[in-house]
Structure 1
Amino acid sequence: MSFSCLVPVFFLGIGVSAQSKMQLENEKKQNLKKIAETHKILQETSGEKKATLGKLNAISAQISTRRELINSINREIKLLDEEIAEIDQLTESIEEDLVSLKKEYAALIYATAKANKGYHKLMYLFASSSFRQLFARMQSLQQYTKARQLQKVQIEKAKQRLEQQRKKRNEKRYEEKILIQSQDSENKSLTVLQIQHSEVVKQLSEREEELKKEIEDNQKNLRKIDQYITELLEKELKKVRETEKNRPNITKNTPEVENPRKTSVSESGVASSFAGLKSRMDWPVQSGFVAEKFGVHPHPTIKGISVRHAGVVIQTSREEIVRCVFDGKVFFIGDSYGVTFVIVEHESYFTVYRNLKNVSVKAKQAIKAHEIIGQVSTDNEGIAKLEFQVGKDGTYLDPENWLSGR
């Protein structure tokens, strides 16, 4: 295959691999950031002598993120192998071209010498029998000279390209070596974490009955708080509906609207903006991970027990600042069963921030996105957890469908 034929295909491949490599680099940066965050949270839980569910959650999050990082590194190594194979293919093609160019160059020198019949250039010209022959010989010599010069330039360029590809290959090999070392290091860290995970699970299993009662009591309290919040929201919705129902209709010959609340320009504008945040919403805390998911699911450690959450539980760092996720109005600030919570209205949507301390907002005040609401409170085991809820018209929605990926 000639160099000219190989170039378009090769550089198309380089463009695709460069894009893939950039994606992998971004993915790796995100994973390293998550590892740093969960490591900080894990260090905070490590101060506790006894095994806790919070410690188990932090270890599980570390394991999950490190596996993602190892997968990213594996894909990056595979991509480098493909790039090296492409470079080897191009190098081989250039080497073949170089051999051909050298052969052509040698053939030109031989052809020139043969045409001159061994004479010196001037003697060859003066030996012409006529002016026409002299002119023809001059043209022939010029053509041979140009051809030789061109071949020489092409040979030099081919040598330069060859040197560039060899240098690039060495760089890729070194890059791959660093990645393999990083992969080995991450695998060792993963093994240590898996051992820690097994030890914590074993310790928690020994306290199964105690933990089971603790979880069941906690679930009862959560259900009561959820019911309290639901009743508050239903009362507010009822008041809104009554207001809409009793509002005088001053517009004549206007078709009756099935649900006036949905057709309000100001409201639909805000609500649609909130709806537009789906999968793009900033997290209410700067660092952390989802320790417990929305809905009903089996407990990860204690067998025969299920847990239910009307939102997600985000385990984070101690003293972590909690911020509002979108513009709205503080609807209610409450304290129930020792748990402080704030409800923010976003027209037909609402968000709930639960397990707070040092609340810095007041009921009925307007609030902007990213404005500070308070700080995350810690439980009796020193674990900082925020329960974050999203809902619409009194119905709870899965916050993970709204929060941006981390």
Structure 2
Amino acid sequence: MKRFRICFTALCFFLMYFVSFSQTRKQLERKRSNLKKEIKQVNSLLIETKKKKNNALDDLKDLTHKISIRERLIKTITLETTILSKEIQNNQKEIQKNNDELTKLKLDYQKMVVKTYKSKSLQSKTMFLLSSKNFYQAYKRVKYMQQYNDFRKKQGNDILLKTKIIEQLNDSLLNRKKAKDRLITEEKTQNKAVEKDKKNQEKLVSSIKKQERRYKSQLLKKQKEEKRIAARIDRLIRDAIAKANKAKGAKKSSKFTLNAAEKALKASFEQNKGNLPWPVPGIITRKYGVQPHPTFPGININSTGLHIAAKGNADAKSIFNGKVMSIQSHTDGKKSVYVRHGNYISVYNSLEKIYVKKGDPIKTGDKLGKIFTDKITGKTKLSFILYKNTTRLNPQEWIQ
């Protein structure tokens, strides 16, 4: 019984040990799967988008983004392969250990069988019992024979259990070796793809350097326009706060004066931080905040929100319950929708068609407008900004 418990405990330990390994590996598998999906999105939304005119600067940014994702994928595959190698090594050690234990169990069992055979040839069980001096001794001898038989049965069970463990270990080892081979093949494929992308990247960099002055001029002009739009948005929000507070008879403030319902909405919005839905499915092509330009040293990009590339004809959707605070039109023909959630405001820029009007109550996921698709580049991108009163927030910290 004791030996059986030891074998059973060993099996449980083995399973727990490899479960902990497999949990880490499953996390890496999920990450690998997500990165591969992200590469597909970059290809479909950015790289393979039909264009009437190429822009080397945009192409370089998209290709660099794709390379960075693929490099993260390669690192994930390498880490997953390393864990598999450790699992295989530990698996092999466990097989050797169990084989040694099985050999010893079989040897012990063999010795007992021989001993039983010899004892049977010397005297039968009946004679063994009849030769007892008294009833108590006969009882003890019966108990002894029962324990002896039980022990033999336990030895047989131990051998079966140990054999089962070895079979499971061998199956596990085979599966892990196959998985490792698949990962090695995938890593080679991804490395080749990165090499190809980097060659294209070098060509684009060379092309941009030849016309650096023109591209820098375009970039600075675009940044100036973005600053002007950002200033208009800030001013509109300040005016909206002042107007809302005045209507309630509140004092002048840079923050919304909230009633009970608005306070409840604010609290609910805050409770959902990190779990709010995306305003549109896609990939983030520009993050929030100040960041160095990937091509031109010394030039920084100040992003007021997130730039999300989406499929053509995609709609921007509200990230939470609220009310349409304002609709704004820009000189380039694009429009913006402002949705207020208590003292939070979500702004959906770069829309070409609006589905709502000022004052409309909004539910999470409601369609607000169709996102503008650039006729030259063929790309569809939403600029998404988030405010708390007049303070800009990083939207990436709030969405899922």
* 1:213 counterpart residue number: 217
Shift of the 138–216 alpha-carbon distance from structure 1 to 2, 3 Å rule, reads closer
Shift in Å at residue 190 of structure 1? Answer: 1.9
Whether the aligned pair in 1 keeps the contact of 2:323 and 2:361 (CA below 8 Å) is yes
- Alpha-carbon distance in structure 2 between the residues aligned to 1:140 and 1:348: 84
Report deviation, 1:286: 1.0
Match of 2:315 in 1: 321
1:63 counterpart (58, 67, 81): 67
Give 3-state SS (helix, strand or coil) of 1:245's partner.
coil
Partner of residue 231 from structure 2, selected from 219, 223, 227: 227
Looking at structure 1, the residues matched to 84 and 289 of structure 2 have their Cα atoms a distance apart, in angstroms, of 42
Contact 1:41 1:58 in 2 (8 A): no
- The structure-2 alpha-carbon separation of the partners of 1:233 and 1:111, relative to structure 1 and needing over 3 Å to count, comes to same
Residue by residue over 1:176-207, the C-alpha shift from the partner in whole angstroms, topping out at 9 and shown as x without a partner, is 11122122212222222222222222222222
Matches within 5 A, 1:167-316: 167-245=171-249, 264-289=259-284, 291-316=285-310
Q: Is the 8 A contact 1:51 1:203 kept in 2?
A: no
Per-residue deviation, residues 129-148 of structure 1 (Å, max 9, x unmatched) = 84549958776665544433
Which of residues 393, 396, 403 in structure 1 aligns to 2:392? 396
RMSD: 3.0
Measure the CA separation in 2 of the matches of 1:138 and 1:244. Answer: 98
Q: Which residue of 2 aligns with 1:253?
A: none
CA drift of 1:350 comes to: 0.9
Cα separation, 2, equivalents of 1:261 and 1:403: 23
User: Which has the higher mean CA deviation after the structures are superposed, 151-160 or 366-375?
Assistant: 151-160
SS where residue 355 of structure 1 aligns? strand
The letter of the residue matching 2:90 is E
Aligned partner letter, 1:385: K
For residue 238 of structure 1, report the CA deviation from its aligned partner: 1.3
Contact (CA 8 Å) 1:45, 1:54: kept in 2 or not?
no
Any idea what SS the aligned residue of 2:336 has?
strand
Q: Per the alignment, in what secondary structure is the counterpart of residue 14 of structure 1?
A: helix
Q: 1:64 to 1:243 in 2, by over 3 A?
A: same
Given that residues 61 and 294 in structure 2 are in contact (C-alpha distance below 8 angstroms), is that contact kept between their aligned partners in structure 1? no
Of 153, 160, 164, which residue of structure 1 is paired with 2:157?
153
Opposite residue 279 of structure 1, the aligned amino acid is: G
How far 1:5 moved relative to its partner?
A: 5.8
Determine if contact 1:3/1:97 at 8 Å carries over to the other structure: no
Q: Which residue of 1 aligns with 2:331?
A: 337
Distance 1:199 1:375 in 2: 35
Match of 2:348 among 346, 350, 353: 353
| DSSP 3-state at the match of 1:104 | helix
Unmatched tracts of structure 1, length 5 or more: 248-257
- Aligned AA for 1:79? I
CA shift for structure 1 position 4 = 5.3
What displacement does 1:246 show? Answer: 5.8
Q: Alignment partner of 1:73: what SS?
A: helix
Structure 1 equivalent of residue 38 of structure 2: 34
Please report how far the alpha carbon of residue 8 of structure 1 lies from its aligned counterpart in structure 2 after TM superposition.
4.5
Give 1:263 shift.
6.0
Task: Report the CA distance between 1:389 and its aligned residue.
Answer: 0.6
- Report the number of matched residues: 390
CA contact (8 A) 1:355 1:385 kept: yes
> 1:107: Cα distance to partner?
2.0
Contact 1:59 1:197 in 2 (8 A): yes
Alignment deviations for residues 345-382 of structure 1 (CA, whole Å, 9 cap, x no partner): 22211111111112222222222211112222133433
Pairing of 1:40-51 with structure 2 (within 5 A): 40-45=44-49, 47=51, 50-51=54-55
2:328 aligned partner, one-letter code:
G
Alpha carbons of structure 1 residues 260 and 168: separation in structure 2 relative to 1, 3 Å: closer
SS, match of residue 343 in structure 1: strand
2:18 match: 14
Distance 1:57 1:317 in 2: 18
Cα distance in 2 for partners of 1:363, 1:78 equals: 56
- CA offsets, 1:157-193, max 9 Å, x none? 3223222221221111112111221222122222222
Structure 2: where are the runs of 5+ without partners?
none
Give the structure 2 partner of residue 25 of structure 1. Answer: 29
1:49 is displaced (CA, Å) by 5.8
The answer on whether the counterparts of 1:299 and 1:307 sit within 8 Å (CA) in structure 2 is: yes
**Letter of the 2:315 counterpart:** I
Equivalent in the alignment of 1:254: none
Matched-pair contact (CA < 8 Å) for 1:288–1:317: no
Q: Would the alpha carbon gap of residues 305 and 349 (structure 1) be closer, same or farther in structure 2, given more than 3 Å must change?
A: same
CA distance in 2, matches of 1:387, 1:25: 32
How far off is 1:109 after superposition? 2.7
Q: CA contact under 8 A between 2:345 and 2:386: conserved in structure 1?
A: yes
The one-letter amino acid of 1:32's match is K
